[in-house]
Chain A
């Protein structure tokens, strides 16, 4: 049997072949070729079900970067099995659907390439056992989702949606990476199983809580939890198969997977419980509340996805209490919550996938998905209607559909919570069932809106682009299959529970097995208890709200778009852009003068600061030679010449004074017994004077720069401080000799190199390498000057020469 590592790579390999296929004229839709991939993967992964259900797990390791402990390790247990089946199963249905949905005029090979890339990435996320490999695949899902959302890249909405999704999920990914690195630095292990085994020692570590929060931010951004949910409705610009696959069934569940996977690590913390279940409940309520108002069917489904993800997230949070209570009978109600989370996770994938496909069919056949233009399709599109009815009733939590079962379990979980005297739940715990109940009622309302506004009421033919008719059979296969699954899960829930969810529970609660029975029997009917009355209440109140929707629609005007998180996001982007550009414009003035000011200020602060704070400014004049009268005179002449340059009125004066400075330096060289330097200095000084004069002709009139007093004062201050800094540094350096000089060695120049002139021997023998490179510098300068003059002469210059 193929190992999981190899299995995961199959989509990548097929994706690599697709561009070659696109060149050829295929006799069939390219999707048929691609369809084989998820089906094969589904079969391979399904073949593991019996052995996983009996409690075994599979671990495969391929070394990747062994020096850092990063291995391409896959771990197949109950939890990853569920996700693997969802990814490949729904993936096959979505690809089948997309074959009929996308016309051959689209760039199909890129579509399927992105989709296969996404499939590998998603399988990598759920099967990776190594933190950093998981992160790699996590980012690959973000990137491939970005590509898929912007599939119709010529639309502005697609580009904006893709950008938003990428920005939010990648920022979350970075925060998650930081959390992973913290975990790694705590436990010195990159393997999730090792970390789970050893985490007990690190609960009091200062990095434990930051790692928890950062990893949760990653999960929340990916799973569109409040307030990071804003990217999901905008991602609906993607083609519908993509929305069905990524934004309902798989990618948005990566965050849930992460939370479930990390529950054994962080589960016992009350912060974890409050964040996960609190944020989940808020998301559930807010998503269902906003979904009611949407007029676009896909936006409605997007918000409903947000809401359902919040529901699952809150259940995972409730389940983490079991870790706090430990392995005993008290924690049974809370392991039930996790069980419900996994069950609803699977249910949600089935009915939400079907609903998205239905919306796609409506959009494809009628040319619109605006709820105000639709109506009366019940008799025209009977199969579509049936599937929509099944999907939305399941979403609303009605029997005989699978959503009913998971909703009942959800109610049981939240009802259990407020009896618990833990995490200060006795005060706030009562809010849990109330919010959950209100959220479910709102869910019921939008489900009714979805199915009845679209399919009943008057048929408005004049508002539609195409005549309404039933979709082609190929398009209906996938949603019908999913709808059948929705019903069959209701009637045989324990099949799913025993074979898939119980092993997954074992991976979330590894310490609870084998002494503890994690299996929960699901019964479609559980007697007249509180949960069923809550459901009845949901139905009654929901119906009333749906009937009177027009009257309470005004509530939504209280929540203006201007105060939403979308506005915040857009404002943030805009402000970031304008602020950073004004900041850059503030200091990047384009004047060389200003940049020199920065450079010199930096020099003064850093050099001066270092000398000052290390007490390096100590002067010891005892070793200095006496200054003789003629040295004074020469130095004073130089000072006068140097200062006069600043006040020179004409350029020639400045050049003359400059050469005075140069000659005086030559004299100083003579005085300090450096004949070679003096010779060179004289020649170079003369040549540069001549060069100045050469340039002079082409320069404009010498004009005093019009500068304000402020810049003048700044310039004076900076030049004085740079000058004095250098004097001080030179004096400080001169007063301390740390070790003997090496010049003694060069005194044997004659014996070692056969030359009596030490300077020349050093230049030509001891350190000839420097000389060679300086020759090269002169050579480059010469060539540079030559090419500047010869090449690219502007036309004005030519005219000057012609005169």
Chain B
């Protein structure tokens, strides 16, 4: 029973990722796409959590943490890029 539930959850998350992918491809503006990528990141966290339960292992818990950090960082990087045009600014007068 629980296995079917987990599989259903996984498939639904997969559908969610596919929908987010549609937004990335289609998305009229770049912020749309970045948000979609962020959403994919969050979905991945969930997917991996579900997989860990399904596989009965704790080995992937670090992956969840890393995705959390990285998706945050990459969203920030994209946002900064969209706003400033560069990611790392050089402050010359210091």
How many of A's residues come within 8 Å of B, CB to CB? 38
A653 touches B33 (CB 8 A): yes
Interface string of A638-652 (1 = CB under 8 A from B): 001100100010101
Give CA–CA (A300, B74) in the complex, Å: 88
A768 CA to B41 CA, complexed, in Å = 33
| Residue of B14, B51, B90 contacting most chain A CB atoms (<10 Å) | B14
| Docked-complex contact B14 and A637, CB < 8 angstroms | yes
Tell me the residues in window 1-40 of chain B with beta carbons closer than 8 Å to chain A beta carbons: 7, 10-11, 13-15, 17-18, 21, 24-25, 27, 30, 33-34, 36-37, 40
Q: Which of B25, B62, B77, B88 has the most CB of A within 10 A?
A: B25
Tell which of B14, B40, B63 touches A660, judged by Cβ atoms closer than 8 Å: B40
Q: Which of A395-403, A416-424, A674-682 lies on the face that meets chain B?
A: A674-682
Q: How far apart are the CA atoms of A652 and B74 in the complex, in Å?
A: 13
Is B81 a contact of A630 with CB atoms below 8 Å? no
Instruction: From B27, B47, B63, B87, give the contact of A682 (CB < 8 A).
Output: B63
B25 closest partner in A (C-beta):
A644
Asked if A628 meets B62 with Cβ closer than 8 Å, knowing A653-B24, A653-B33, the reply is no
Q: Is the CB of A694 within 8 A of B87?
A: yes
Asked if A693 meets B78 with Cβ closer than 8 Å, knowing A637-B14, A670-B60, A678-B63, the reply is: yes
Residue ID in chain A nearest B86 by CB atoms: A697
| Residue A597, interface by CB 8 Å | no
Q: Which residues of B contact A660 (CB under 8 A)?
A: 21, 24, 37, 40
The minimal Cβ–Cβ distance linking A650 to chain B, given in whole angstroms, is 8
Instruction: Select B34's contact among A656, A667, A678, beta carbons within 8 Å.
Output: A656
B7, B40, B48, B77: the one within 8 Å of A670 (CB): B48
Q: Mark B54-94, 1 if CB is under 8 A from A, else 0.
A: 01010110110011001001100110010001111010000
Q: Please, which residue of chain A has its CB at the minimum distance from the CB of B84?
A: A697
Report Cα–Cα, A634/B40, bound state, in Å: 12
Residues in B whose Cβ lies below 8 Å from that of A689: 74, 77
Question: Does A657 make an interface contact (CB < 8 A)?
Answer: yes
- Known A667-B47, A675-B62; judge A630-B70 contact (CB<8 A): no
Task: State the CA gap A682–B25 with chains docked (Å).
Answer: 21
B-side contacts of A659, CB under 8 Å? 37, 74
Residue of A nearest to B10 (CB): A630
Q: Which residue of A lies closest to B13 (CB)?
A: A630
Name the B residues within 8 Å of A801 (CB-CB).
Answer: 90
Residue of A nearest to B20 (CB): A660
Given A652-B30, A656-B24, A679-B66: A693 and B87 within 8 A (CB)?
yes
Q: Which residues 668-702 of A have a CB within 8 angstroms of B? A: 670-671, 673, 675, 678-679, 682-683, 686, 689-690, 693-694, 696-697
Complex Cα spacing A663 to B74, Å = 12
CA distance A652 to B25 in the complex (A): 11
Question: A679, B10: Cβ atoms under 8 Å?
Answer: no
Q: Which residue in chain A gives the minimum CB-CB distance to B76?
A: A690
A691, closest chain B residue (CB): B87
Known contacts A630-B10, A670-B63, A641 near B74 by CB under 8 Å: no
A629 at the interface (CB under 8 A from B): yes
B70 to chain A, nearest CB (A): 4
Measured between C-beta atoms, what is the minimum distance from A293 to chain B in Å? 82
Which residues of chain B are near A633, meaning CB under 8 Å? 11, 14-15, 17-18
A325 part of interface (Cβ distance < 8 Å):
no
Q: Is A306 an interface residue (CB 8 A)?
A: no
Inter-chain contacts of A634 with B (CB < 8 A): 14, 17
Q: How far is the CB of B93 from chain A (nearest CB, A)?
A: 12
Q: Which residue of A lies closest to B24 (CB)?
A: A656
A675 touches B59 (CB 8 A): yes
Bound Cα distance from A660 to B36, whole angstroms: 10
Interface string of A324-345 (1 = CB under 8 A from B): 0000000000000000000000
Task: Verify B14–A682 contact, CB threshold 8 A.
Answer: no
Q: Which residues of B contact A652 (CB under 8 A)?
A: 30, 33, 78
Of B13, B15, B60, the most chain A CB neighbours within 10 A belong to B60
User: Would you call A630 and B14 a contact (CB within 8 A)?
Assistant: yes
Chain A residues packing against B (C-beta within 8 Å): 628-630, 633-634, 636-637, 640-641, 644, 648, 650, 652-653, 656-657, 659-660, 663-664, 666-667, 670-671, 673, 675, 678-679, 682-683, 686, 689-690, 693-694, 696-697, 801
Chain B: residues with CB nearer than 8 A to chain A? 7, 10-11, 13-15, 17-18, 21, 24-25, 27, 30, 33-34, 36-37, 40-41, 44, 47-48, 51, 55, 57, 59-60, 62-63, 66-67, 70, 73-74, 77-78, 81, 85-88, 90
16 additional A-B residue pairs with CB within 8 Å, beyond A656-B33, A660-B21, A666-B44: A629-B14, A630-B7, A633-B17, A640-B18, A641-B24, A650-B30, A653-B27, A656-B36, A659-B37, A663-B67, A670-B47, A679-B62, A679-B66, A682-B67, A682-B70, A693-B77
Q: Can you name 30 A-B residue pairings with CB atoms under 8 Å?
A: A630-B7, A630-B11, A633-B11, A633-B14, A633-B17, A634-B14, A634-B17, A637-B18, A637-B21, A652-B33, A653-B24, A653-B25, A653-B27, A653-B33, A656-B37, A659-B37, A660-B21, A663-B40, A664-B17, A666-B63, A667-B48, A670-B51, A678-B60, A678-B63, A682-B63, A682-B70, A690-B77, A693-B78, A694-B88, A801-B90
Can you list the 9 inter-chain pairs with the closest CB atoms, starting with the nearest? A633-B14, A630-B10, A675-B59, A686-B70, A644-B25, A693-B81, A678-B63, A656-B33, A630-B14
